Every structure is written in C-alpha cells, then in structure tokens.
C-alpha cells in the first residue's frame, strides 16, 4: 500500500529528494562503462524537407548477450535523430505498424495544433481497428477521438530558434508504457545564430538520451502496466503510482556506456528521457558542466555548474572541457540522486588522445527577452496533486483529471501570462507550444539551473514556481501536463486553448 511506498497524502511531508520505488532487473547486467556509447543515426530525408519514420517492433541488443523487443521509430531506440533547420518547413510521415495506436509529439516544438500529437489524435496500423476504452479513467466524449489509418503527416514549420528537442509517443492513457518500450528520439533544430558561435561542433557535438529501464530474465523490458494487452506485472502498482523507475541507466540506449574523447571541449546535449527518474548529474575529477543552452536553446550567457538536476523531459546543453586531462584519465558522469550503485552510475568519458581544439565558450551567447513579470496580462494558478476519485487515486491539475477537449485556460495569442505551479510531489511540468522563463520559486528567485527559455520545469514538493509564459505561434488546442509519464497517464494533464 501507500505506506509501503514511503509517503502519505497530506500527513507527512516528503523529503525534498524522495523518489519512488525502483524495479529490479532479473537479467544478468554488464559491468558499467564497458559498452561503447552509440550515437543515434540521423534520419535520412526521403526528399528535402520530408521524412518518413515507421513505428515497429524490433529486437535489439541492449544488454550484451541478450535481446530486447523494442517498439521504436524505424525499430530503433532511441529513434533516428531528426535534423531540423530553422526556416525549413519539414513534414514527418509517421507510419504505425504496432499493435497499439500512437500519437507523436515533438516536445519543445512550436507546432500547429493539428500536428502537435494530441493524445486522442491517433494513428492506427493499417488493417487494425481500435475502440477507445477510456483507459484508466472513465469514458470520454467520442467526438474527441480522431483516427488515421496507417500513417499521419506531421508538419513542422520550424520557425523557432536552435534547440535540442525530442519526439515521443503521446497516446491517451498509455504514453508511459509506449515510451518505456522505446518510442522516442532526438530532434535537433539548428540555425545560423547557433552555428556562428565557436562552440564544439561535428563529432564533438553529442546528444545524450538518458533514461532508466528494468529487464526481465529473458531480456524483455520490465514494466508494471494497467493495460492487459501490454505487460502486466501484478504487485508493483505502487511503482506505477509514483512513476516507474528502473535499475539500469541507459545513455543513447546503451547501459552505462563509455565514450573515448580527445583533450578537447565537447558539447553534450543532455536529455532526461526517463519516465519518472530525476538525476543530479555530476562529473568526477573536478570536471564541470558549462551550460550554454536550456530546453529552448541558447542562454544569454554561459552558466557553470558542478551539479545539474535534470527532470523528465528537460534538456541541458552543456560544454565539458577535457583538455586539462592527460590521456588515460577517466571521468565518470554520476547521478548523485541514485539510490544504488547501479543508479548512481551514468556513463564514463575516457580521454584517449591529444588533439587540437579551436572551440571556445564565448561570454555572450544570445539575446533573450527580459523575464519581466509586468509583461503578464494575468496570473493563473495550477495545483498539481494527488486526489481521491471514485475510481481510485489520481494525479490531477486543480483537482480535475484530464478531460480531452475541455480547455482550462484560454490565453490570447501574442500575450504573456504568469503561470504559478504548486505541487504535492515532484512534478516536472511541461507546456506544449509555449515557452517560458522561470521567475522564481516561492520567495526566492530562479536557481542557476532555471536559466534560459524553457518548456519543462522541475516543480518540487510543496514548492510554488512562477513562470512567465509567452503564447506565440499558433491558435488552437494544446496541452500541459506533468512529464512524469505515469502521472500524465493517470490524468495529470489539461488542455489550454490559444485564442
């Protein structure tokens, strides 16, 4: 029960860094830092501005010596990296060959509503039928569901600044199990402003998709699910309620990998693609993260961190300088929040060669709009908490479980608002379409890791986080939600409509 899960509603305050339970793997795990870091291949356009990705099952070797069935874009986990160029409208045709419906969201994308990956706007494999069951929370208005047979074209105008985005499944009620099975990948927006900076480039610009998983004895993913057609592991519902965490840390789909580096600076695009795990990343050997970008691209100026807390959905674009380390040095990226040796280890960098390096981190990176509270036309408060409902406990916003098609806010296009998030637990809050700047946490100002333009923010237990949101881009129906994917599936989501 809940007591066993280590917390109680209202009665006991959570320790600031409380996490849920972790599923234990039954497969024989490799020694950390023995598997080379893979780099997800770039998606190849079928013609300029046009990609096709197929969601399908595939067997891949994640744990050496065994195979895992993944559901991946083009059968890969993470999927191929979409290279998007600012100003180049791009169409991605997503074909679904899976036994379940899907919806694909470009996280961080400034996307017209009909291509945003709405949870009830589903692609169903050709020849299959799907009847919405209402998932775990009741029956929805049938008019909110739309179906595409076989494939759907998602259109991305890409009129936004360079940034590290990602795409992932967003199916109503089942995002968490479907992302756990592999339906996610990077999408990197590039532009002239970012290209013009002397930051590390090419092979020294590396995306790192960090997530946790657990494995059954036969190598398959372990996951507790409420959907009998997916995977059922009775007895682990507590793990589901708080968000599912595994005991194996994967980077770009490899367990605790190692990367050989030269004596140079590297740009690392960190993404927390986990369902529920938060990480506090640190580097051994005195190495530091020089942050140059956040969720939505370049910061005004670099910010140095010795430790970086990253929550599900968040990205940090950092430069790490290996030039002061002689070949032979090993620098390990660890997770200071890990509850076990396995979950404290992330990956390792092994310095193997002396190289020349002309890159540097300039003291000014970009022009950002001022985070001026007075620019807001209104303040809205959204309370993220667990509430009791007839059908059991749910994660809700302002006490209401998600109801597709029913917006709870109608901001005007071109305006800014203050959105205030309050919370009873760790809730990484994510807004579709709109970008924001963190104004403060309670009576304090933003923290060092809050810098820049963001789309996902770490809201911690009993915290009040104010953000200045700009509603630019498009009119229409969008969502915001907790990016703990199990919370999202348990209804901690709401629509807003830009009018």
For residue 226, give both structure tokens. Answer: 């409420």
Of 244-252, 280-288, 333-341, 475-483: span binding ligand C2O (CB under 6 A): 475-483
Q: Which is nearer to Cu ion, 86 or 460 (CB)?
A: 460
Q: Residue 107 binds which entry of ligand C2O, Cu ion, none, with Cβ cut-offs from 5 to 8 Å by kind?
A: ligand C2O
Three-class DSSP labels, 322-353: CCCCCCCCEEEEEECCCCCHHHHEEEEEEEEE
- Position among 86, 95, 152, 168 found at the interface with ligand C2O (CB under 6 A): 168
Assess 278 for contact with Cu ion (CB under 5 A). Answer: no
The span from the CA of 376 to the CA of 468, in Å, is 7
Range in contact with Cu ion (rule: CB under 5 A) among 247-255, 274-282, 352-360, 483-491: 483-491
> What is the residue whose two structure tokens read 């789309």?
455
- The verdict on 484 binding Cu ion (CB under 5 A) reads yes
CB 389 within 8 A of CB 274: no
Out of 27, 310, 465, 482, point to the residue binding Cu ion (CB under 5 A). Answer: 482
Number of residues near ligand C2O (by CB under 6 A): 10
Closest to ligand C2O by CB, 170 or 222: 170
Burial class (CB in 10 A: 0-12, 13-18, 19+), 14: middle
User: Could you tell me which residues are beta bridge partners of residue 209?
Assistant: 271
- Hey, what's the torsion of the CAs at 274, 276, 280, 285, to 10 degrees? -40
For the segment 423-452, give every residue that binds Cu ion (CB under 5 A).
427
Q: Binding segment for ligand C2O among 32-40, 365-373, 434-442, 478-486 (CB under 6 A)? A: 478-486
The answer to whether residues 466 and 436 touch, using CB atoms and an 8 Å cutoff, is no
Tell me which of ligand C2O, Cu ion, none is bound by residue 484, counting a contact when its beta carbon lies within the kind-specific cut-off of 5 to 8 angstroms.
Answer: Cu ion
Exposure string of 17-33, with b = 16+ CB inside 10 Å and e = fewer, is ebbbbbbebebeebebb
Phi-psi region at 258: left, alpha or beta (left = phi > 0; alpha = psi -120 to 50): beta
**Nearest distance, CB of residue 122 and Cu ion, angstroms:** 24
Among 78, 293, 313, 338, binds ligand C2O (CB under 6 A): 313
CB nearer to ligand C2O: pick between 261 and 394 = 394
In sequence order, the 6+-apart residues with CB closer than 8 A to the CB of 255 are: 29, 30, 32, 35, 62, 63, 248, 249
Phi, psi of 382 (to 5 degrees): -125, 125
Nearest approach, Cβ of residue 482 and Cu ion (Å): 3
Which of Cu ion, ligand C2O, none lies near 313, with the C-beta cut-off 5 to 8 A by kind? Answer: ligand C2O
- CB under 5 to 8 A by kind: which of ligand C2O, Cu ion, none does 473 bind? none
Residues 107-146 contacting ligand C2O, CB under 6 A: 107
Structure tokens at 351: 């310095």
Site string for Cu ion, 42-81 (x = CB under 5 A): ----------------------------------------
- The maximal CA–CA distance of the chain, rounded, in angstroms, is 64
Residues 429-468 that bind ligand C2O (CB under 6 A): 430, 432
- Residues near ligand C2O, by CB under 6 A: 105, 107, 168, 170, 313, 430, 432, 479, 481, 483
- Residues near Cu ion, by CB under 5 A: 427, 482, 484, 487
């Amino acid at each position: 029960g809940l007591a066993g899960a280590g917390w109680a509603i209202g009665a006991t305050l959570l320790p600031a860094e409380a996490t849920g339970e972790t599923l234990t793997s039954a497969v024989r795990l490799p020694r950390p830092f023995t598997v080379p870091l893979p780099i997800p291949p770039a998606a190849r356009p079928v013609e300029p501005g046009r990609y096709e990705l197929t969601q399908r099952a595939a067997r891949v070797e994640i744990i050496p010596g065994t195979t895992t069935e993944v559901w991946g874009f083009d059968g890969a986990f993470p999927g191929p990296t979409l290279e998007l160029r600012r100003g180049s409208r791009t169409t991605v045709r997503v074909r679904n060959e899976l036994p379940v419906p899907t919806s694909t969201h470009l996280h961080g994308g400034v996307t017209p509503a009909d291509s945003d990956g709405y949870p009830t706007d589903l692609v169903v494999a050709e020849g299959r039928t799907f009847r919405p069951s209402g998932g775990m929370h009741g029956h929805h208005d049938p008019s909110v569901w739309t179906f595409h047979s076989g494939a759907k074209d998602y259109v991305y105008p890409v009129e936004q600044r360079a940034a590290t985005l990602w795409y992932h499944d967003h199916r109503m009620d089942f995002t968490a199990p479907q992302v756990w099975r592999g339906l996610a990948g990077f999408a990197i927006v590039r532009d002239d402003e970012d290209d013009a900076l002397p930051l590390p480039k090419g092979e020294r610009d590396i995306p790192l998709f960090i997530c946790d998983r657990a494995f059954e004895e036969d190598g398959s993913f372990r996951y507790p699910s409420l959907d009998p057609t997916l995977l059922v592991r009775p007895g682990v519902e507590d793990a589901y309620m708080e968000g599912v965490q595994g005991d194996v840390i994967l980077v770009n789909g490899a367990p605790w990998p190692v990367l050989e580096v030269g004596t140079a600076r590297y740009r690392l695009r960190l993404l927390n693609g986990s369902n529920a795990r938060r990480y506090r990343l640190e580097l051994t050997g005195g190495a530091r993260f020089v942050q140059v970008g956040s969720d939505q691209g370049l910061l005004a100026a670099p910010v140095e961190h010795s430790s970086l807390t990253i929550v599900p959905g968040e990205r940090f674009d950092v430069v790490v300088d290996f030039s002061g380390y002689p070949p032979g040095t090993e620098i390990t990226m660890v997770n200071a929040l890990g509850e076990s040796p396995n979950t404290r280890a992330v990956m390792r960098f092994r310095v193997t060669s002396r190289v020349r390096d002309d890159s540097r981190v300039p003291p000014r990176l970009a022009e950002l709009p001022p985070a001026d509270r007075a620019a807001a036309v209104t303040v809205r408060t959204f309370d993220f908490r667990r509430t009791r409902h007839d059908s059991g406990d749910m994660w809700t916003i302002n006490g209401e479980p998600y109801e597709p098609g029913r917006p709870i806010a109608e901001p005007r296009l071109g305006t800014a608002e203050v959105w205030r998030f309050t919370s009873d637990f760790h809730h990484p809050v994510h807004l579709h379409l709109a970008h924001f700047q963190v104004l403060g946490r309670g009576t304090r100002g933003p923290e060092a890791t809050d810098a820049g333009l963001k789309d996902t923010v770490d809201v911690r237990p009993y915290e009040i986080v104010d953000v200045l949101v700009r509603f630019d881009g498009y009119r229409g129906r969008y969502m915001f939600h907790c990016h703990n994917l199990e919370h999202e599936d348990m209804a901690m989501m709401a629509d807003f409509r830009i009018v």
